[in-house]
Amino acid sequence: MKKIGVAILGLGVVGGGTYKILSEHRDFYKKVHGLDITVESVLEINKERAIALGVSESIISTNIAEICSNPDIDIVVEVIGGVEPAKSYVLAALNAGKSVVTSNKELFCKYSHELEKAAKKNNCGLFYEACVCGGIPVIRSLTDNLQGNKITSIMGIINGTTNYILTKMSNEGVTYSEVVKEAQKLGYAEANPSADVEGYDAAYKLSILSSLSFHTKIPFTEVYREGITEIDNTDIKYGKKLGYSLKLLAIGKNSENGIEVRVHPAFINSTHPLASVNDSYNAVYITGDCVEDVMLYGRGAGALPTGSAIVGDIIYCATHEKFNYSTFDNTANCDPATKFITNFESAYYLRLVAQDRTGVLSRVSSVLSKNDISVAQVIQDKVNKQDNTVQLIITTHLTHEKNINKAVKEINSIDGFAKVNSIIRVVS
């Protein structure tokens, strides 16, 4: 029986879930994989928390050097989160010859070049399935199963907190701030929810996914990012009338014109498979030249789903002699030859509040047509008698960001005529 010693750095939600899975499935892994996986040490300053999880006091440590020098430890699991001290601990473990499994998307996204260099130098494995979409096996799908493809596009709902918020807003008509408070109470959203609601978490994940998909380094700083903090229920309501669902989408595309990577709220047609991904669930929709479309769906967070990804990596690491590293030159910055598209092409939804008087619609449409924007649909809601205004909803055919931004500026600059309150991209 092959013995595998594991150390877990951090016993928070994911660390606790990993510990539970490893403890409860020990006999199962012995039988199925011929592996006796034991937790030899946990790094946790909160002793009580560790003991409450059933960890024996004798294996609780607060010293990374002790873990690195322990010959019984083969694999170090880093689930602390954030950059420091996680980065120093991971580098120390790799330099001590231990393979590392991490769920830390911020660390991996920003420093995978340094971590991978240390892993290669020390002939260690570096595994990160748990960094993206919790229990969904998307990393290994990209690094192994889909390697035969040229991947042209990857589109996903890769943040559970924002998907939970948008689903609640859409189904129950509650406001953004009400749902955030509720999500915090339920433990879905952090006390400071900015990493999720401002799209950083999704941008870290998209940087990792698109680098793997397109075989070139896509630094996080190249990902265009907009969060959901400005979303208004009014737009969700009008979107529904048009047959759309509102989602925080992460989109990566690779074409002969270049690469585009973006995270922003978007309307998608309610018939699209991603439209039915609700609550805190995640899904990733990948298009490859051979496989065509693949959609992976599941829990993107949580103790056991993310623990499942970590334990999968531990078993993979324990059963492979040779480790895979990036298929591209993993440097801090992108290859200078990489061309990024920032003037995205998209269809758009615009909501204007306009004066209800003769010629307003024709002036709006003349600004749009001057900017090479073709109108797909127009809805005019009933007149607000108090100020004699109307809500005007316009959807467009495909056009470019620059055209839309220019047209909106122009419309807004005509005093007392119409104001564009919302611009939302529509993804088909």
Residues that bind ligand HSE in the complex, under the rule CB under 6 A: 105, 159-161, 196, 201, 300-301
What Cα–Cα distance (Å) separates residue 374 from each residue in 87, 322, 364, 401? 50, 54, 12, 13
- Note every long-range contact of 44-49, with CB atoms under 8 Å and residues 24 or more positions apart, other chains counting: 44/10, 44/11, 44/15, 46/11, 49/11, 49/16
Nearest CB to ligand HSE, comparing residues 60 and 195: 195
Please state, in angstroms and rounded to a whole number, the distance separating the CA atoms of residues 76 and 319. 16
Looking at the DSSP bridge assignments, the partners of residue 36 are 3
Taking a C-beta distance cutoff of 8 angstroms, is the pair 17, 86 a contact?
Answer: no
Closest CB 204 distance from ligand HSE, rounded Å:
8
Sheet strands (E) in 199-243: 224-225
Closest CB 130 distance from ligand HSE, rounded Å:
9
Point out the catalytic residue in the list 98, 105, 168, 205. Answer: 205
Closest CB 105 distance from ligand HSE, rounded Å:
6
Burial 40-53 (b: 16+ CB within 10 A, else e): bbbbbeeeebbeeb
Nearest CB to ligand HSE, comparing residues 226 and 381: 226
Who contacts 264 (Cβ-Cβ below 8 Å, separation ≥6)? 199, 224, 225, 226, 248, 249, 425
Nearest CB to ligand HSE, comparing residues 17 and 300: 300
What Cα–Cα distance (Å) separates residue 228 from each residue in 42, 83, 309, 331, 341? 37, 25, 28, 31, 23
Helix 303-319 with 13-24: angle, nearest 10 deg: 60
Q: What are phi and psi of 157, to 5 degrees?
A: -105, 100
Q: Give CA angle at 133 (265, 209), nearest 5°.
A: 75
Nearest CB to ligand HSE, comparing residues 204 and 348: 204
Q: One-letter amino acid identity for 209? A: L
Closest CB 101 distance from ligand HSE, rounded Å:
16
Is residue 205 annotated as a catalytic residue, yes or no?
yes
Nearest CB to ligand HSE, comparing residues 35 and 284: 284
Nearest CB to ligand HSE, comparing residues 105 and 110: 105
Residue that has been written with the tokens 């003037």 in this structure: 343
Active site residues: 205
